[in-house]
Amino acid sequence: MVFKLSVALLALAATSVSAAAVKRVSCPGGKHTTTNEACCVFFDLAEELQNNKFDNECSEDAHEALRLTFHDAIGFSKSGGPSKGTGADGSIMIFNDTELQDPANNGVDGAIDNLKPLLQQFKVTAGDLIQFAGAVAVSNCPGAPRLQFLAGRPNATHPAALGLVPKPEDNVNKIFARMADAGFSPTDLVNLLASHTVARSDTLILNREAVPFDSTPFTFDSQVFLEVLLKGNETLPPAAGEADAQVPNALAAQGEMRLQSDFAIAHDTQTACAWQEMINNQQLMMNNFKNAMAKLAVTGHDASKLIDCSDAVPIPKPPVGKATTFPAGTGPKLVQQSCPKPFPVLKTDPGAPTTIPECINGDTNIDDCPS
């Protein structure tokens, strides 16, 4: 009897799986088939983003769109309740006049100005637009994972409270507490910070834009996890009021900066090993980032009520396949290690220290280069 029942259940499960697999809808225009017609709009949106916003590259606009996913989603507080924010809800875009008063949101105006007009062009909510744009953006960075995208976030009805977005000068325990209040563990945070491998600051350094956090800001590799651990004696001159945002680093002469927060998270006993583990482990970093972003993107939502439209996310450019190396002029002697496990053995790039590229190779779009 038990046997018969389980056979029947198996048969039932098999039918529903194959039914789901064959039931596909054809989108208007006939170019795409997908699992749910609600996903069709995202294929068109992906094309628009790639051609007219990101130039199919891991460009400045792509970096900024990825950052925006975090600054929207983190507007959520388990202790404060929905009045403080409803997570990945587009509030930063709809109520930008309010949320951009938070200094932690300095620099996100560019992504909002770039993406907000798309709300007039495509029938999507602001929360869906932000999370989808981030997934499309990072697909242009070689080595990024293909992020999950679920559709159906309702529009925010009110702004998130100010003060919920972590700042680079914040104490590490304050950052961990804030992340916990939004539902993220210290390890989740390390996994999300793989994003800083394609990141540059426009606001923290005096008279300078696009100051990178690692030597390869257009590649989704694990150099950032190594370079944040390298001891240095130089700090780039800070913009007004930003003196505590960075710590001295080994590659300042090459134009790089280290965030105080990244440094502190790299060394905290709770996170030092999760940080070190990702150095020279492309696959682990990709998997960890994909899982952490899947969680970030549904902050404040019941994922089971959303529709899986991941097939509208472009297939990312593959990893460049270069092992992590000490940039020329640095080496193992500079490593500040806090994880007690053996440090990975890495080669050092030969020759004299090289300047970090400011524009993507061959890219002629001036917007992708600092002025």
119 binds, among ligand HEM, ligand NAG, none (CB under 5 to 8 A by kind): ligand NAG
- Pair 312, 333: CB distance under 8 Å: no
> 39 or 58: whose CB is closer to ligand NAG?
39
Binding site listing: 72, 87, 89, 91, 196-197, 214, 216, 221
The minimum distance between CB 110 and ligand HEM, in angstroms, equals 7
Q: Which helix (H) or strand (E) holds 265?
A: helix 260-267
How many residues make contact with ligand HEM (CB under 6 A)? 25
**Given 32, 71, 158, 267, the catalytic residue:** 71
CB-neighbour burial class of residue 158 (10 A; exposed 0-12, middle 13-18, buried 19+): middle
- Provide the phi-psi class of 313: left if phi over 0, else alpha when psi is between -120 and 50, else beta: beta
Selection from 153, 147, 105, 176 nearest residue 316 by Cα: 147
Question: Which member of 41, 43, 54, 63 binds ligand HEM (CB under 6 A)?
Answer: 63
Q: At its nearest, how many Å lie between ligand NAG and the CB of residue 44?
A: 16
Residue 291 CB burial class (10 angstroms; 0-12, 13-18, ≥19): middle
Q: Give the per-residue contact string, 112-141, with ligand NAG (x = CB under 6 A; - = no).
A: x---x--x-----xx---------------
Exposed e or buried b for every residue in 245-277, given b needs 16+ CB within 10 A? bbbebbbbebbbbbbbbbbbbbbbeebbebbbb
> Is 204 a residue that touches ligand HEM (CB under 6 A)?
yes
- For the question of residue 158 being annotated catalytic, the response is no
- Binding to ligand NAG by CB under 6 A, coded x per residue (else -) over 70-99, reads ------------------------x-xx--
CB 139 within 8 A of CB 315: yes
Between the CA of residue 26 and those of 21, 39, 202, what are the distances in Å? 14, 10, 43
Size of the site for ligand NAG (CB under 6 A): 13
Residues 80-99 interacting with ligand HEM (rule: CB under 6 A): none
Residues forming contacts to ligand NAG in the complex (CB under 6 A) are: 94, 96-97, 100, 109, 112, 116, 119, 125-126, 155, 233-234
Residues forming contacts to ligand HEM in the complex (CB under 6 A) are: 60, 63-64, 66-67, 69-70, 107, 166-168, 175, 192-193, 195-196, 198-204, 259, 261
Active site positions, annotated? 71
